[in-house]
Amino acid sequence: MALGGCADLRLYSSSLDEQGKKAQKAWTDVNLAELVQAERERSAALLKAEVAYLESQPLLSRDVKLYGLVVGEVEPEPAKQAPGLKARVAAGFKETAGDGTFYDGLVLARAREMRAKRQYQTGEDEFKRIGLEAPSCTDVLSGNSAEMGKDMPSPYNAIVKGGLALLKTACEASADSVPEKDKSDPEAVRKLFKCTNLAGAALSTCLKSMPRLQAELETLYAFVAAREAARSAHVNERNDVRVASATYKKMASSPEGKEAEPAPKQDAGCAADKAAAPAAAASAATSPASAASAVPAGPTRTKLAGAIERLKCAVAKLKGLDDKYTLKLLSEERLSAIDESLDALLSPKAAGAAGETGKDRAGRALQRLADTADAWATAKANTDEVLGRPLLAQQEVERLQQQALGRLIDMDGAEVELLRTRATLTEKQAEHYKKAIGALSGVSMGDGALEDMFLGSPPASANNKARVMEGVAHYGYAVGYLQGQYEGTKQRQRALVTARQLDLAENSLAQWDILIRTNVGLLADWAASGVKEETISRGVNALLLLWIGYGTNHQ
């Protein structure tokens, strides 16, 4: 073997082998995930303590306020007799809901909005049924989504068309002739707002002048609108990728994919769907997966090859976009291509073009996306033993990427729910203040202590006592429990900043772990795979015996 002149021959080194094993063990002992988990646990414990404190403080403050109302004690600030129950209730309602105009209009507007939301959900379900995202009301009413699904086969094109019709009905406000109980308007609550078209300092100033309930709802709706705008910005292009991917998978797993495709459709926005240039065809012929990746011009192209090109075209339209919804979809497509390639390598199936090998099929799968094609070029340069390792590493990275992006999207949803909870708690406070105002209406009472109403001479009537107790209960619930829950929710929302940072750190550490672990493993295998001395000795002895035998027989 040594005398054979192998240029890449490397003698085995026990010291290198030992170093490789130590490196593998050392990295195995490093637990990066444990570091992030420990920080998560510390953050969770701190948040729990902070929320408990913030929720308890309004309860203590409530007790002090109620005690002062009963016995008429002077509060330290301002240094005068505390205002009476009626004054406090009225002040609480004004701070929460203003003069009541917005609060009264909100009930009617929300009913109209909920009807529109239920109608939109019906149309959205039609899109989900065939694996697509529903467009936003803005896209539906502007006609930006009118062409969606027109190239899909029956009955999917009809489902999309019906779904768009349902969404259009839901996105338009009902005519004035429609009875109030049936009237819907997806923008009913937003039409009550005053600050939604402002930004920066002007927005902050406007919100400060609003009653707290209106400010909370305007903040909620602005966040939801921004999130929906980000989601729907490229929904048509993402749906194109989903349709093209489904078509490719169908062609790759069915004999139909081997059939010749009619002249390829010309798409002005997709140069990749046109006939392959001679230079590109010549380059493809030198690739190990040339049978799969070469795309002949004209009607000789197979349906599978055409499907691959249309998928690459759809993906190319998303190139350069960095919104998390698009990045997640592209990561899903890369992972699907890698999974298909590894499946072809590890357990080849009778699919694809006639005469394809497992490696050819793996290469074809990776040709679905330009960046996964680079992964194939790296993988095929290795020996069969480690052919799939770069792909396995990228497979792990893509899974991590999807999980990280999924968590970011979920956190946006969590923030929406926390903002909605804040608005709901504020609205409940306004509701209890209003009930307290109703209970105290008609009851004659000044700013003195409530004690006189119950123990004075003569005491108040039983009816007035009951109404005062009802007013006290509503007021105490609003300034105590509900205010505590509101403060705790605000803290949970602030804690999302830390949660997002931990997620980013965890994803970064996990990717480093994959990169280092893969390379350490390859280096250890390389160190262990050298030619050992005993192997050379056996080889030399065999050669000597051969030549001894040859000499004996030819003397």
Provide the number of structural domains found in the chain.
Answer: 2
**Are 199 and 256 part of one and the same domain?**
no
Domain finish residue from 404, 436, 467: 404
**Are 255 and 206 part of one and the same domain?**
no
**Are 270 and 396 part of one and the same domain?**
yes
Termini Cα distance of the chain: 27
* Model confidence at 535: pLDDT above 60: no
- Please name every residue paired with 531 in a beta bridge, in sequence order, or none if there are none: 11
Q: 423 in a domain, yes or no?
A: no
Domain holding 119, by residue range, is 106-210
Quick one: pLDDT at residue 254? 84
**Are 315 and 267 part of one and the same domain?**
yes
Q: 115: which 2 tokens?
A: 């009807």
Q: 189 in a domain, yes or no?
A: yes
**DSSP helix/strand/coil, 367:** coil
Quick one: pLDDT at residue 530? 56
Look-up: residue for tokens 């016995």? 71
What is the arithmetic mean of pLDDT over 392-399? Answer: 83
Domain finish residue from 360, 385, 404: 404
**Are 258 and 377 part of one and the same domain?**
yes
Q: What's the pLDDT tens digit per position in 377-393?
A: 666 665 444 556 777 77
Q: What's the pLDDT tens digit per position in 455-475?
A: 777 777 888 889 999 999 999
* Model confidence at 292: pLDDT above 50: no
Q: 500 in a domain, yes or no?
A: no
Report which of 502, 501, 511 is spatially closest to residue 38, judged by C-alpha positions: 502
Distance of CA 155 to CAs 240, 248, 401, Å?
17, 18, 34
What is the arithmetic mean of pLDDT over 35-60? Answer: 90
Quick one: pLDDT at residue 536? 47
**Are 186 and 320 part of one and the same domain?**
no
Q: 341 in a domain, yes or no?
A: yes
Quick one: pLDDT at residue 276? 35
Q: How many CB atoms lie within 10 A of CB 110?
A: 15
**Are 188 and 277 part of one and the same domain?**
no
What is the arithmetic mean of pLDDT over 352-379? Answer: 72
Quick one: pLDDT at residue 161? 92
The more confidently predicted of residues 372 and 211 is 211
Q: 497 in a domain, yes or no?
A: no
**Are 158 and 270 part of one and the same domain?**
no
**DSSP helix/strand/coil, 34:** helix
**Are 392 and 256 part of one and the same domain?**
yes
The C-alpha torsion from 127 through 133 and 136 to 142, rounded to 10°, is -80
Quick one: pLDDT at residue 363? 80
**Phi, psi dihedral angles at 11 (to 5 degrees):** -70, 145
Q: What is the DSSP letter of 321?
A: -
* Model confidence at 262: pLDDT above 50: yes
**Are 258 and 379 part of one and the same domain?**
yes
**Are 161 and 257 part of one and the same domain?**
no
Q: 479 in a domain, yes or no?
A: no
Asked which of 86-100, 342-356, 412-426 is least confident by mean pLDDT, the reply is 342-356
What is the arithmetic mean of pLDDT over 502-526? Answer: 73
Quick one: pLDDT at residue 68? 82
**Are 369 and 273 part of one and the same domain?**
yes
- Please name every residue paired with 80 in a beta bridge, in sequence order, or none if there are none: 75
Q: 30 in a domain, yes or no?
A: no
Quick one: pLDDT at residue 447? 66
Look-up: residue for tokens 């429609």? 178
Domain finish residue from 155, 187, 210: 210
* Model confidence at 542: pLDDT above 70: no
Q: 35 in a domain, yes or no?
A: no
Quick one: pLDDT at residue 442? 83
Q: Report yes or no: 341 and 333 within 8 Å, Cβ to Cβ.
A: no
Q: Report yes or no: 493 and 50 within 8 Å, Cβ to Cβ.
A: no
- For the chain, the average pLDDT equals 79
